[in-house]
């Protein structure tokens, strides 16, 4: 089975991607290749941040790899938290970040939001980008215990439950990361 390096230390993201790619690729994350660095995400977009991660792994380890940058964009908050989703409250903490969004959304009528992922693939000296978006709304309170990040407050369009109320298989059918990863997989099959 071919190996793919996923430039992340996020165990939740790794588990989602392993579930998406099982039987096709063995997915290794940064920890698996001995990289403990917190790769700086200094870009001004999801695409730039994802590409920074793949460039880092390529430079330091000479390995083809892929990386994602994902986040929640809330329309009423001028698309915040956006690229700052992981540290929106000033630190990495799912509960604190989610509570800050809920606090800022108090009394807001417009609850439209979307999750966005951009996957960067560094392969044979080239960089390729794949995007996935899922539209939805922000709930007024948390619901569900599955998933991570903002999943307990995000209800995708067409569903009456949050991502955190879905099992991983269901979420992987419709999530932003799954959409981007399907595009990546189709590209890898062609090339």
pLDDT in tens, 106-122: 999 999 999 999 999 99
Find out whether 69 and 86 touch, Cβ atoms under 8 Å.
Answer: no
Q: What is the pLDDT of residue 66?
A: 95
Q: In this structure, what CATH number is given to the domain that contains residue 86?
A: 3.90.950.10
Average pLDDT for the chain: 93
Share of the chain above pLDDT 90, in %: 74
Instruction: Return the higher-pLDDT residue of 172 and 73.
Output: 73
Active site residues: 69
Confidence class for position 85, pLDDT limits 50, 70, 90? very high
Judge whether residue 159 has pLDDT over 90.
Answer: yes
Q: What is the pLDDT of residue 48?
A: 97
Find out whether 42 and 110 touch, Cβ atoms under 8 Å.
Answer: no
89 DSSP assignment = T
Instruction: Work out how many domains the chain is built from and give that number.
Output: 1
pLDDT digits (tens, 9 = 90+) for 126-143: 999 999 999 999 999 999
Find out whether 60 and 30 touch, Cβ atoms under 8 Å.
Answer: no
Backbone angles phi and psi of 52, in degrees to 5? -60, -40
CB-based burial, 131-166: b 16+ in 10 Å, e otherwise:
ebebebbbbeebbbebbebbbbbbbbeeeeebbbbb
Q: What is the pLDDT of residue 126?
A: 93
Q: Which residues span the domain enclosing 61? A: 2-190
């Amino acid at each position: 089975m071919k190996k793919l390096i996923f430039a992340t230390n996020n165990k939740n993201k790794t588990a989602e991607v392993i579930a998406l790619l099982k039987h096709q690729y063995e997915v290794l994350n940064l920890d698996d290749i001995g990289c403990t660095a917190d790769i700086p995400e200094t870009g001004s977009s999801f695409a730039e941040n994802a590409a920074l991660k793949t460039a880092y792994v390529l430079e330091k380890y000479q390995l083809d790899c892929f990386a994602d940058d994902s986040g929640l964009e809330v329309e009423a908050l001028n698309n915040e938290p956006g690229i700052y989703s992981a540290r929106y409250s000033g630190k990495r903490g799912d509960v604190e970040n989610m509570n800050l969004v809920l606090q800022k959304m108090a009394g807001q009528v417009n609850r439209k939001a979307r999750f966005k992922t951009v996957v960067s693939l560094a392969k044979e000296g080239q960089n390729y980008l794949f995007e996935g978006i899922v539209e939805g709304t922000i709930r007024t309170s948390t619901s569900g215990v599955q998933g991570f990040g903002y999943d307990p407050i995000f209800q995708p369009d067409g569903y009456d439950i949050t991502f955190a109320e879905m099992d991983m298989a269901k979420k992987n059918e419709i999530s932003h990361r799954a959409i981007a990863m399907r595009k990546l997989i189709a590209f890898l099959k062609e090339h």
